[in-house]
Amino acid sequence: MWLKNNNRKGTPFVFGKLADFADKKLRHLSLMLNAKVERMAIRQRKTVLIVSLFALSIAGVVCAIPGIHILPVSGMLPLQSAPPPVFPSESLADARYSKNDSLLASRFRNILDSMRRTEQGRKEIEFFEADNPGLLDSMLLISNSLYPKK
């Protein structure tokens, strides 16, 4: 049996009315489901219980095992990783840049792109270039060597 929650002292009027509405709908739903279950035979009740437990256990296993993806993730990259550096003449074993370097270069490029979108960001970039001439050009050369344009 569904019992109404009367511990709502101090809540705003609107939230109290919404909670009363939810209680009313849940009470109606619980009474309807109880009536349906009482009309079922014992064998049907057991079948429904076993099928629902089986479905919930399968869902739990799918959620608990890493590597099983329900939704397609074919084109998505992980958030915290960057692609390995691309060098046509070097293999990954003797590359001069590590994966961490490529991740930092990718973040640097993202920060510069976002700063160029606003007037304040463009002023900060100009101020930084005046204090450190050539540094941004060098960083962009490194970034372009890590991620060549196709």
Structure tokens at 81: 């990783």
Check residue 89 and give its pLDDT: 45
DSSP 85: P
Q: What's the rounded Cα separation, in Å, for the pair 75 and 96? A: 28
Report which listed range, 27-36, 58-67, 97-106, is most confident: 27-36
Task: Answer with the residue of higher pLDDT: 13 or 138.
Answer: 138
Check residue 135 and give its pLDDT: 81
- pTM of the full predicted structure? 0.33
Domain-wise residue ranges, the chain: 13-64, 78-150
Check residue 52 and give its pLDDT: 94
- Backbone dihedral region of 67: left (phi > 0), alpha (psi from -120 to 50 degrees) or beta? left
Q: What's the rounded Cα separation, in Å, for the pair 109 and 116? A: 11
- Say if residue 22 is exposed, middle or buried (CB neighbours under 10 Å; 0-12, 13-18, 19+): exposed
Mean of the per-residue pLDDT values of the chain: 75
For 43-70, write each residue's pLDDT tens digit. Answer: 999 999 999 999 999 888 877 776 666 6
